[in-house]
Amino acid sequence: MHPHYVPVTDAALLLARFGSALPEGGSPCPEAPGELDMPLLMPAPTKPAGAVGEVRLGRLGLLSRRAVDLSLGGQATHCAIETMKSLATFRESWWAGQRCVVPVMGLQAWSFSTGQPQRWTVQQSAGLPLALAGLWNTWTGPDGAELLSFCVLTRPADGHEVFRHLASPGQAARMPVLLPLESLAPWLDGGLKDAERLLQRPMAEALQAAPLAQADTPWREPASWSVVPDMFAHEWHAMAAQAPAAPTRRASPRLMRPRSPEPAGPTTADLF
């Protein structure tokens, strides 16, 4: 699965849902991945009552401190929870407790379940933002400028009603780790053992998934252009603006309700 995330761009909705405001002068980009301006919820030493954490803007694609090139982040947009402790790019952030929450309005991904590729959209059934579990790091470029980067954690999705249909051919089904509101503070501020338990709990969100009509699928500028601009970019933008939208009948959305959650385990005892 190679999803396209739709970040939360409504500052009022971000504040109402998570109790945290965008940084002054911050304006998240409506398109991702490959954009600089996706909002993240980060741990904060001090925060207003009711706030989950501090909101900062970061780039999707985790860059370790040893990364020699900004473009390497494109290879680290996602991290499997099975390898977050061992792979060099991600273990630095995990063991340092550098966890974040990625608020998104939903995601878009290709489905091959019918034999033909079809773009699907997935969102919370009530239209509220979803909270994805992520890891973050600060990377210093050759010019000394610092960049906040992050990745989204994923888990197996073989039995999931929605995400099992979004696996690429020949690959196991996976899904981003979705966190309920009550788990956000423990995820950001808790210890490693408690945080790892949160990654194993069943998802409690009701999701709505439906195919995208072709008219709803805009042309997206290649993510690589944010690093190296393309000499024909102006022609590409002109073609994208004039591209005709083929009428396509929209399928009815499917409402996926959560299964009965398993009893929550202890949150303070040792993992073993």
- If one counts the domains in the chain, the total is 1
Token pair 């739709």: residue: 6
SS3 147: strand
Of the listed ranges 9-13, 104-108, 177-181, 192-196, the least confidently predicted one is: 9-13
Q: Read off the CATH number of the domain in which 152 is found.
A: 3.90.1680.10
Asked whether 36 and 16 are in contact (CB, 8 A), the reply is no
User: Looking at the domain assignment, is residue 126 inside a domain?
Assistant: yes
User: Looking at the domain assignment, is residue 100 inside a domain?
Assistant: yes
User: Looking at the domain assignment, is residue 262 inside a domain?
Assistant: no
User: Looking at the domain assignment, is residue 55 inside a domain?
Assistant: yes
User: Looking at the domain assignment, is residue 209 inside a domain?
Assistant: yes
How deeply is 232 buried, as exposed, middle or buried, from its count of CB atoms within 10 A (0-12, 13-18, 19+)? exposed
- Give the structural domain span for 112: 4-256
User: Looking at the domain assignment, is residue 263 inside a domain?
Assistant: no
User: Looking at the domain assignment, is residue 137 inside a domain?
Assistant: yes
Q: What one-letter code names the amino acid at 164?
A: R
What is the torsional sign of CA 114, 119, 125, 129?
positive
**pLDDT digits 0-9 by tens, 174-198:** 999 999 999 999 999 999 999 999 9
User: How far is residue 176's CA from residue 86's CA, in Å, rounded to a whole number?
Assistant: 19
User: How far is residue 261's CA from residue 190's CA, in Å, rounded to a whole number?
Assistant: 22
What percent of the chain clears pLDDT 90, i.e. is strictly above it?
A: 40
User: Looking at the domain assignment, is residue 271 inside a domain?
Assistant: no
Q: What is the CA radius of gyration of the chain?
A: 19
**pLDDT digits 0-9 by tens, 47-74:** 777 788 899 999 999 988 887 776 666 7
Number of helices and strands in the chain (H, E): 5, 11
